[in-house]
Structure 1
């Protein structure tokens, strides 16, 4: 494949800042193509951070896939069918440069590299028709507002676009641009993109999905005024270069100029995980004075006529979530800078001023090296500020807040905080237009209120919103995606600004968002329409890794059937260019999650290429930590030891599935590298001791960030054994060493982490030497899975799993349930496994879930309860694996599955049928039905030729086995 030296193109960008915050930049190249249409026309490109490619006005693709900057992936498209011989042809690229690090991107600098080859010359060289250089033209897209806020700490920015400010014809030939020549940065191979690598997975799908109904129509009046403030980058500017937590100590101040004495509501609609007291004209109000349930805070305040100084103490820790600040008042008011009229106010300043930071820092390992200095004398003295003039006493501590850190408006708060609203009947024409994509229908409009529609897509989706409308110029469309509503109550996406704003130009227009979003429901609020807006269509372009649902499952329990389908749908939505935890809140590749998700993917889709890509990405985090990061590629330098151990186990499981020895051989040195570093963290007791994020489950188990955590020690044993198996035949000496290490660590666990009093494994030993008094089912499950106990202790652990004591911490999340189900399967407790699925996943179905939740609900089932954060999270999709592996009973016995066992576990079911993909192609179909009264069973198995299938019926059952060979 082409290397960096094979590129004829150069990296280009525009003049100005190398890594601008939230810049949307357009590039064009028009060239004349002489002669006939070429037999081959291949256009390859990549960009920092994301691009959308057009050829002669047609969207060709978007990318690149997430990757490390030092191994940046490029894409290659066949565009010959779009080129016109004997005419001008235009390549156009929209590049979105984040300018901040996220959980799926490390900040580099703005850049585009692209070249179009029309086959090869007579001398065998590629015939380059166009390559990025100084002849390309560029301009910042004037329609996109660079001050749009961050979606969350995991994501980049929301989207605010004014269609009146830009000509969509820029992607077409004949567009008369007066743009500047692009600036050449340098050739392929320069920093930070030192190596360009070809995309290693297929292009993602884009399948149009229409809403199934208009859920509601309301008139709404939003809060009067609101903005989003980026406190993290404001107070710790260098934090744009990474995604670690930042801490800071300081204040924000702003002047509210009231037209008369009045009451106003100060609303912190989403506190960005930072909330402190607030003062109005020198009177301070603590948390007890605010109404609302966190993260919402509302304060009723008296404003005097004229200027009122608001000061907010924003001291705290921020990962990058926006701070949503809003005001509502019946009387007219202005929001102005307390420095108004002074030279230091600045030309590009927002109305806010910052006081501080009096202290700041970065947290890189979940444990602050020190506490924030809240005793700084000027920080304490600033509590006395009551008037704008008082700011003069604080000299250099007071600075105007650059407008780039403050949005022009907060779409999220405008959508969720509506002081006045009234429900309306849904017009039938509107219902038909939206759902059936029929004749366009008008959205009802009102002179003194906005119109809000809630559209239900019928299931969770992930991709790119698109709509076509006819509107008067200046009509505003606010879109807000969320996941759950029931009986009139809506669960807001606090912590995720899942919104966008589109300002219409005159007439009919279509817009396709370049920002990926996850949602089930879409709120569409029409504001300021001079003429009623007409909707032609609203769609979600469902985008995911291209897989077919080869797996199937059906049984005599309809609830289990629904759970299986929900698990498969969830996994598909969380297959992007890697596995991701959830398509809405994060879209992050969490390394440990992917181990369980891979097993589900094998059984539902049979695809292993996405798994291979995920596993190969992980060692790229070596420059951040020798222990490998828990999410990659990411600007957050974070390690969860168990996630690394699960990665090592997943490497072996991929080899066991597809039998690809070349993968095993190439990944082995990376597995060895990190496990050798983990081994160095054993203490004088021979136990693994780590300061860090020592996570396994969200339940209240004792897993301190500093100490000996039992479940981590146990999973390290399992990882060492997996690594040894991976090394067999490649590095036999190290394989033997690892088996010896695993046995020594197992012995140390039994010597130091077993309680004779409770006859169970303790959760941990704290840093001060104190042995935990907490006992959890999580630790006992892991002990059994990792073969830690033997003899009487093994019998005791089995007893605990079969009859969990009430005073032990119970399984707390669907993620932990995966390991619990593995243990139950190993125990042969298949009825217990199905009962647990029915109980825990059944309550998701009861709440109209179409995808698996991140968590089980922790409170009562009252209507307004917070059931879970994410309503689509693939770490919870375990039933998609277990129902195929055990209820159907299909499991591979050797790498590549040349030998397979079909061993159905009937539990309380009467019949089951389905299919499991075979890694070599085709599938294994299984259908069984049991007659308990007669003690007989019929089993039908269809399998590919060349696969040795053994069928093992349940004990005590006489089975009639029907075998079919395919091929």
Structure 2
């Protein structure tokens, strides 16, 4: 156990500043550090980048609950100079807001250097120096509600040599000691339990497009959520509010004028100009792009924008365009606070935060002041409402919004791509001149050829003041780009003079990178562009190849998707959210076992979940998070995942550790069982993105069925942990709930299970495939009804709500395998995932095009890389190769391949700990013989099962 002598340090400013990038330094001699095996331990709030003598050593910490904050350890002896001064430098990014992977704490850095025997040689204390990194713009916009801030970097304002020993930090302040180890909110520190993430340089495949462009004339992005509800930075729960903002627009002459948004961040776009509120059908553009095109006379115009609605934390992007000049000013004259931001905030007249598993909070629908403000036609009339008018803090508005400037272009002139520029983006190539236009900006659209996740890096030679805007997105087709609505996936870099390099410290997912060069005053040379691909370090141990080329490609992109979504936890997607969703991770864990065989990341994910008990005993659906939200199914999947992890690893210590937490949450779920014997719960009762009834309150059939399965799985875990009494009680409860499901939720007239019973007692009007599939998977149905449900599963009735996402398909494919319908499973995989392959997907999508969550007719899915969709890796391993562990730790393994219409298949499956099992088979349809070859470690007992209708010829090879 580490003996911490270091103190927590920070600067002399705010405890928890918004979007602060703070630098720390300590210079010392080698004599202070002892041997070459010197180690450095550190952690920070919120994130850090560590440098030793100018070399980047690491990033961190991993996402953690503040009361179990992880620290990292690095060997640094090889970087230290024996005969010269040494410098440790740390950049700490403190977000100052809660997100979906961070709970707001306070700014802090803790660092200790130790010799090989654990003696502390160097510690953070008041002798360290610190300064706010002046190149980063603290007003930069929120990336999304899930994530903190984009990076806006002005290289003219900072010396990159600050990480070097030679840098003079005499002007910096001394660090402030804020407390010792154990102080709140970091009451406990725990060592990192997983390896460090990779950083692999990946270079582009090509320059896809080149265009001369001109952006919208004026743009800004507002943090409306914080504007109207200032204390909402302390949590990430959704907020509703009633409020407006206003400005005075002055035109020196009559002009065509456009007011619009390319992304309102879920806030409806409502505008009043000239005494008129405009309706939705007055706007041009396909939502969320909304443009109000007006002919305005010369003079002043009072512009009122209604912000009432709800926000989870996305940016509100506003753009104004006119070919002539115009000015904006605050509607309240003579107020110094209004001079920085030319808009005034009016309200909020009411607001409410919402937590899905708690009683709802309603806003007052009677808002006479709000209705009165909505009728204002001039700035002078605002004086009646002076007590409701506030200045908008400059930190909550970011001007020259890169997202708007990229997505809203008033001029776009495509150009042929010069060969030299194509070559410039390749590794080791010569610099390429960027074509420039005297009046327009230059956009270079780079295709990396596949989805990536990590850190954008580039080298450029340009004049001082040249701007490089970057924007990453995932999909385009036939010139149409799928912009990342509700994701501000942008950065801005302002150049100093000469050749320079930049590595963004903000993690991003993308396939395409639009680089736009603005304001160049001399030739610009693009030297290099790359992504530092960053993910959990795994090898492609699992393999699959068969006689069906499309099936092989489906397996490959499913594997690659899982790897892209392995960070310090599993995450849902590398672009939009980067969030550890607990239910998603259950399926991703199974895929990981068959693709990579990593147990460490799964165990870390599973152990994080009980930390959410202070938010709800039902446990959170995404952790660690400032959003206190419960999806009951996600917790139930976590229970099953705990058992599955024990079954994969055979780790009894893990089973015993997790059992009290599993018991705790299931006992609280059982308290929600009503007099009918059914789980009746308020929460986010989600299973699939599809239009079947899964209400926020009431009895939802699939999660009752999954509760039965979770209770059975928990009972098996209880047996391992030695709590047989609770295990028996859970088995009894599972039997009772199953009986209640069959008695109450079966609809004899429909010959199907109801999707739900609403809180008012009314049954669902929808009948879904989702519910019937789960009934089969969880062994709910009676033998007589099972025959009916089997017919539905083989031939889904058109009147039933169909499966909407690959996530739900995972359970469908589990059910098909359980029923011995592997051929149907393979056919469905080819049909559903084949659409992705046909569209050129390099990773698997979040939803099918038939789902109900896309917002544009051209959108095939939202996220184009989503780990919950990668099930084919698991099923082709378990069913086509036929590899399944039969005992904990896979000491005994079944090999039961299913041909599913294939002529041959071969592949490998990782086994726990080390090694893999290789399977190769081919069938002769004339002789009905399967030739099977299996290579396996000697410590594994194999049980071979011949497929139905075939004789088996076996070659077995033992290694080790």
- TM-score, normalised to structure 1, is 0.97
Distance in 1 of aligned mates of 2:648 and 2:224: 47
| Structure 1 counterpart of 2:314 | 321
| Structure 2 counterpart of 1:446 | 437
Helix, strand or coil at the partner of 2:119? strand
User: Deviation per CA, 1:187-224, whole angstroms, max 9, x where unpaired?
Assistant: 01100000011100000000000000000100001100
2:236 aligned with 1:243, yes or no?
yes
User: Deviation per CA, 1:617-642, whole angstroms, max 9, x where unpaired?
Assistant: 00000000000000000000000000
What's the CA shift for 1:261?
1.7
Distance in 2 of aligned mates of 1:335 and 1:211: 41
Distance in 2 of aligned mates of 1:20 and 1:846: 48
| Structure 1 counterpart of 2:87 | 90
| Structure 2 counterpart of 1:777 | 769
Helix, strand or coil at the partner of 2:888? coil
| Structure 1 counterpart of 2:883 | 890
Q: Is the 8 A contact 1:469 1:535 kept in 2?
A: yes
Of 95, 109, 113, 2:110 maps to 113
Q: Is the 8 A contact 2:287 2:856 kept in 1?
A: no
Q: Is the 8 A contact 2:905 2:922 kept in 1?
A: yes
What's the CA shift for 1:791?
2.5
User: Deviation per CA, 1:412-457, whole angstroms, max 9, x where unpaired?
Assistant: 0000111111111101001001124301111011110000000000
Of 139, 142, 153, 1:150 maps to 142
Q: Is the 8 A contact 1:37 1:83 kept in 2?
A: no
Helix, strand or coil at the partner of 2:13? coil
User: Deviation per CA, 1:905-926, whole angstroms, max 9, x where unpaired?
Assistant: 1011000000000113111000
| Structure 1 counterpart of 2:72 | 75
Distance in 2 of aligned mates of 1:616 and 1:859: 33
Q: Is the 8 A contact 1:628 1:639 kept in 2?
A: yes
Of 932, 945, 952, 2:938 maps to 945
| Structure 1 counterpart of 2:164 | 172
Of 27, 36, 39, 1:42 maps to 39
| Structure 2 counterpart of 1:877 | 870
| Structure 2 counterpart of 1:957 | 950
User: Deviation per CA, 1:772-807, whole angstroms, max 9, x where unpaired?
Assistant: 232111111111111111231222222322232221
User: Deviation per CA, 1:54-111, whole angstroms, max 9, x where unpaired?
Assistant: 0111100000000000000010100001100132110100000000000010000011
Of 782, 786, 789, 1:790 maps to 782
Distance in 1 of aligned mates of 2:885 and 2:120: 49
| Structure 2 counterpart of 1:17 | 14
Q: Is the 8 A contact 1:35 1:85 kept in 2?
A: no
Q: Is the 8 A contact 1:621 1:632 kept in 2?
A: yes
Distance in 2 of aligned mates of 1:840 and 1:282: 51
Report the CA distance shift for 1:35/1:669 in structure 2 as closer, same or farther (over 3 A): closer
Report the CA distance shift for 1:84/1:906 in structure 2 as closer, same or farther (over 3 A): same
Superposition misfits of 4+ residues, deviation over 4 angstroms: 859-864
| Structure 2 counterpart of 1:199 | 192
2:733 aligned with 1:741, yes or no?
yes
2:906 aligned with 1:913, yes or no?
yes
Structure 1 runs not aligned, ≥5 long:
121-125
| Structure 1 counterpart of 2:5 | 8
Distance in 2 of aligned mates of 1:645 and 1:428: 55
Report the CA distance shift for 1:323/1:35 in structure 2 as closer, same or farther (over 3 A): closer
Q: Is the 8 A contact 2:421 2:433 kept in 1?
A: yes
Helix, strand or coil at the partner of 1:407? strand
Aligned residue runs from structure 1 range 157-236, under 5 A: 157-177=149-169, 178-236=171-229
| Structure 1 counterpart of 2:849 | 857
2:470 aligned with 1:479, yes or no?
yes
Q: Is the 8 A contact 2:689 2:851 kept in 1?
A: no
Q: Is the 8 A contact 1:218 1:424 kept in 2?
A: yes
Distance in 1 of aligned mates of 2:499 and 2:532: 20
Report the CA distance shift for 1:366/1:277 in structure 2 as closer, same or farther (over 3 A): farther
Distance in 1 of aligned mates of 2:467 and 2:526: 13
Distance in 1 of aligned mates of 2:947 and 2:150: 55
| Structure 2 counterpart of 1:263 | 256
Distance in 1 of aligned mates of 2:132 and 2:444: 33
| Structure 2 counterpart of 1:123 | none
User: Deviation per CA, 1:285-305, whole angstroms, max 9, x where unpaired?
Assistant: 121211112211100123332
Which has the higher mean CA deviation after the structures are superposed, 941-950 or 576-585? 941-950
- TM-score, normalised to structure 2, is 0.98
Aligned residue runs from structure 1 range 460-479, under 5 A: 460-479=451-470
Structure 2 runs not aligned, ≥5 long:
none
Distance in 1 of aligned mates of 2:295 and 2:121: 67
Helix, strand or coil at the partner of 1:419? strand
What's the CA shift for 1:352?
1.3
| Structure 2 counterpart of 1:517 | 508
Of 808, 815, 836, 1:816 maps to 808
Of 653, 676, 681, 2:644 maps to 653
Distance in 1 of aligned mates of 2:48 and 2:361: 41
Q: Is the 8 A contact 1:290 1:299 kept in 2?
A: yes
What's the CA shift for 1:370?
4.5
Helix, strand or coil at the partner of 1:664? helix
What's the CA shift for 1:128?
2.8
CA RMSD, 1 decimal: 1.5
Helix, strand or coil at the partner of 2:15? coil
